[in-house]
Amino acid sequence: MSHANAIKVALITGANKGIGLETARQLGKLGVTVLVGSRELGRGEQAAEVLRGVGVDARAIQLDVTSEADRAAAAKYIEREFGRLDILINNAAVNLDQGAGYETSTTPVKTIRETFETNFFAVVDLTQKLLPLIRKSDAGRIVNVSSAQGSLKLLAAKDSTIYATKTFSYDASKTALNSFTLHLAHELRGTKIKVNSVHPGWVKTDMGGQQAPLKLVDGAKTSVRLAMLGADGPTGEYFHMDLALPW
């Protein structure tokens, strides 16, 4: 069954604020129906209302990514309402190291586990649950929102802008996420589905802080570009804007 002329459907996790919300706005402006995944449904409803106010077809969906029940319910809802999913943007993330003053050697294992629960395990399980629906798309796109801090090469390079910044739990979770991108893209290389990692940039958000150089509108651009890739676009790669990053 072809959906060539049908409106694309996108699920964005953590989409009630920040980069996720801006990504939803930009995709919506391109005519995509956006499902605003939010840990608290009320906040998702508020975000969807704001999006509808600027002409976007947006619907809130209860999705605390760390909740097995929420992940399963989201898959059932999308199957019932749309029968397929065209775009999955795994955007929700936490940075529990930030401001905690941890060195690598003093980072509590509990913090590492909690970070991986959101930034890695939840992404893997949600993607696995949604993959049967993404396979039904004419052009499935999976975008994993990573970070430059997931790049081992950039973390190790003394001349890199992130060399001095080491947040162990967060960095390691994003490196693991990049590994998932590579492995899943390899598995799906013979299909129409493309899987890529994104570094949104250092953006003015709750996580990025006000000293960050990039505006929200820029922080969403890479995800939107990879979500809307044509058939000849890349897969199994890692980008900031048009720049391919080293793993």
pLDDT digits (tens, 9 = 90+) for 62-100: 999 999 999 999 999 999 999 999 999 999 999 999 888
Q: Break the chain into its structural domains and give their ranges.
A: 9-244
Q: Which residues are catalytic?
A: 147, 174
Kindly tell me if the per-residue pLDDT of 115 is higher than 90: yes
Average pLDDT, the chain: 94
Residue 23's SS3 state is: helix
**Confidence (pLDDT) at 48:** 98
Give 148's strand partners.
none
Residue 8's SS3 state is: coil
pLDDT digits (tens, 9 = 90+) for 42-58: 999 999 999 999 999 99
Q: Which CATH superfamily is domain 9-244 in?
A: NAD(P)-binding Rossmann-like Domain (3.40.50.720)
Residue 10 phi, psi dihedral angles, 5° rounding:
-125, 140
Sequence-ordered list of residues with C-beta below 8 angstroms from that of 22, at least 6 positions apart, any chain: 216, 217, 219, 220
pLDDT digits (tens, 9 = 90+) for 186-206: 999 999 999 999 999 876 666
**Strand order in 238-240's β-sheet?**
58-62, 33-38, 9-12, 87-90, 141-145, 194-198, 238-240, 243-244
Q: What is the pTM of this model?
A: 0.95
Average pLDDT over residues 16-33: 96
Q: Which residue has the higher pLDDT, 214 or 194?
A: 194
Kindly tell me if the per-residue pLDDT of 150 is higher than 80: yes
Residue 190's SS3 state is: coil
Instruction: Catalogue the E-assigned strands of the chain.
Output: 9-12, 33-38, 58-62, 87-90, 141-145, 194-198, 238-240, 243-244
Kindly tell me if the per-residue pLDDT of 4 is higher than 60: no
Confidence of residue 29 (pLDDT cuts 50, 70, 90): very high
